[in-house]
Amino acid sequence: MTSIRSDARLEHSLYEITRLLEKHRVLEDLAHRQEGPKRDLLEGLQHRQNLAELQRRLRTMHAADVAFVLEALSPDDRTTVWEQLDPEQAGRVFVELSEAVLHSVIETTPRDRLVGTLMTLDPDDLGYLSEALPSDVVNEVSAAFELVDRQAFEASTRYDEDQVGHHMSHEWIAVAETHTIQQALSELRKRGELPPQTDRLFVVDARNILRGALTLPTLLLTDPGSPVVGCVEPETVSFGPSERVHQAASAFERYDLVSAPVVDDRGKLVGRLTVDAVMDFVRDEAELRALKRAGLTREEDLFAPPLDSARNRAPWLAVNLVTAFLASRVIGQFEHTIRELAALATLMPIVASIGGNTGNQTMAVMIRALAGDQVRGPGAVRLLNKEVIVSLLNGTVWGLIVGIAASTLYSSLALGAVMTAAVVLNLLVAAVAGVTIPLGLHSRGRDPAFGSSVLLTFVTDAMGFFLFLGLATAFLS
């Protein structure tokens, strides 16, 4: 009977593990330096004691905490810790690891140990991990499952990672609609325990068609003689296995759900979606979106080998290089004007930069709205109108300030006027691009965040250079 403040616990565990690992490294170093028979017995003993203490410490920790510690460690330390876990705990830790670290652990674990660890998992968890694992390992492990488990495993691998079916659990408790509360209770007692995150039982008819849900509070508070059918929740939100998890997550948030039934097209109960799976998904999605905006296609292990990281980031850099080159060709067309008035080269990045910035602001608001499914036909037009007005307001204010600064700096009223006009027009371009780019990506079924930033910067750079240098060529020379 202990109550632990969550913040202190993890901090303390990480500190202790790090201390034991430091000692481990020192002892390893000593052992390597003194080769052969000269190896000190006492040090060997210390080394073993240290590892035993590490094992003891790890065994008291929650699997999610061990995963957290593993992610914060360098690859060498990670392997040391990983080797100290017994298969049962290693399996639970496996499920909690982030994708990037999962890959590195799978690569460094010997095949036998990997199979042994995976054997301890239930089919839902194996399904969850299957995409990251070598397929021969998955086959060997799933072949050892009993029939019903193998079926559950195969069902969860049938769906994509962004579908409800991939994340649903195959453990739930169903009650026949013809039973009484008393009968439901005694069935529960026979089972002995409930699956995690069970806040309701699912009521089904003789053909396994979902009829509703019976919450645990109802079970506790209702007269045991009542028929189940009279106690079900008036409305049960359910999901389809091919529905997008993103949408299910919104529903969990809107209706404050803890668990919900998954039903197929005929209404038959096929799975259960729980709030922990949904929350993991929401968090992963938010993090991935931030990485995607910077042009990283997948999660990256903090301590991945530099070559892997370089490769992960290269494609996007290549795209950026091409767009930057294309934008620079716009400048190339005006080299004669720049030769006459080098001040243009100094001022043109300002026009491009302020356009990119306002466009990104518009886009951030748009992406948020699109992610929430709140933009539809006439709404999009209204939004575009609004953004155009905002850009004209901001463009006039900041364009004038920039223009005054430029004309003072170079003692040329005409240069200032060109600068102001270019800023106002480029902000208009930025507003239109900021609305239409994410809208275009979204309507073609793409994630509106992915690649939008590079596309937008290309437009605002190229148009910024073109507007400023074009106006200057027309009016200043």
The single residue among 144, 221, 381, 414 that binds a copy of itself, judged by CB under 8 A, is 221
Beta bridge partners of 163: 244
C-alpha of 77 from chain center? 26
Distance of closest approach, residue 474 Cβ to a copy of itself, in angstroms: 18
Nearer to a copy of itself, 52 or 397 (CB): 397
**Residue 294 interacts with a copy of itself (CB under 8 A)?**
yes
Nearest residue to 128 (alpha-carbon basis) of 118, 140, 116? 118
**Residue 336 interacts with a copy of itself (CB under 8 A)?**
yes
Interacting positions 300-329 with a copy of itself (CB under 8 A): 300, 302-303, 306-307, 309-310, 313-314, 316-318, 320-321, 324-325, 327-329
Distance of closest approach, residue 335 Cβ to a copy of itself, in angstroms: 4
Distance of closest approach, residue 18 Cβ to a copy of itself, in angstroms: 8
Nearer to a copy of itself, 138 or 352 (CB): 352
**Residue 343 interacts with a copy of itself (CB under 8 A)?**
yes
The single residue among 120, 157, 183, 360 that binds a copy of itself, judged by CB under 8 A, is 360
Token couple for 424: 């106002």
CA quadruple 353, 359, 365, 370: dihedral sign: negative
Nearer to a copy of itself, 141 or 352 (CB): 352
**Residue 183 interacts with a copy of itself (CB under 8 A)?**
no
Q: How far apart are CA 430 and CA 436, in angstroms?
A: 10
Q: How far apart are CA 336 and CA 469, in angstroms?
A: 11
How crowded is residue 166: how many other Cβ atoms within 10 Å of its Cβ? 23
Distance of closest approach, residue 448 Cβ to a copy of itself, in angstroms: 11
**Residue 405 interacts with a copy of itself (CB under 8 A)?**
yes
Residue found by looking up tokens 């439901």 in the block: 184
How crowded is residue 202: how many other Cβ atoms within 10 Å of its Cβ? 24
Nearer to a copy of itself, 134 or 227 (CB): 227
The single residue among 123, 293, 420, 466 that binds a copy of itself, judged by CB under 8 A, is 293
The single residue among 182, 398, 400, 404 that binds a copy of itself, judged by CB under 8 A, is 398
CA quadruple 44, 50, 54, 57: dihedral sign: positive
Which range binds a copy of itself by CB under 8 A, 3-11, 110-118, 128-136, 435-443? 3-11
Q: How far apart are CA 243 and CA 254, in angstroms?
A: 17
Nearer to a copy of itself, 114 or 275 (CB): 275
Which strands make up the sheet holding 200-204, listed edge to edge?
A: 174-176, 200-204, 210-215
Interacting positions 191-210 with a copy of itself (CB under 8 A): 192-194, 196-199, 210
Distance of closest approach, residue 181 Cβ to a copy of itself, in angstroms: 11
Encoded one letter per residue, x for contact with a copy of itself by CB under 8 A and - for no contact, window 65-84 reads x--x--xx-x----------
DSSP run (H or E) holding 441: helix 413-443
Site size with a copy of itself, rule: CB under 8 A: 144
DSSP run (H or E) holding 222: none
Beta bridge partners of 176: 204
The single residue among 331, 428, 432, 463 that binds a copy of itself, judged by CB under 8 A, is 331
Interacting positions 10-49 with a copy of itself (CB under 8 A): 14
**Residue 408 interacts with a copy of itself (CB under 8 A)?**
no
The single residue among 26, 119, 174, 291 that binds a copy of itself, judged by CB under 8 A, is 291
How many CA within 13 A on the CB side of residue 465?
Answer: 21
**Residue 220 interacts with a copy of itself (CB under 8 A)?**
yes
Distance of closest approach, residue 131 Cβ to a copy of itself, in angstroms: 21
Q: What are phi and psi of 444, to 5 degrees?
A: -95, 15
Token couple for 307: 């070559």
Q: How far apart are CA 142 and CA 152, in angstroms?
A: 10
Amino acid symbol at 234: P
Interacting positions 227-256 with a copy of itself (CB under 8 A): 229, 232, 234-240, 243, 247-248, 251-256
**149, 122 Cβ separation under 8 angstroms:** yes
**Residue 381 interacts with a copy of itself (CB under 8 A)?**
no
**228, 184 Cβ separation under 8 angstroms:** yes
Distance of closest approach, residue 115 Cβ to a copy of itself, in angstroms: 26
The dihedral over CA atoms of 60, 63, 68, 69, expressed in degrees to the nearest 10, equals: 40
Task: Give the 3-state secondary structure of residue 171.
Answer: coil
Interacting positions 97-156 with a copy of itself (CB under 8 A): none
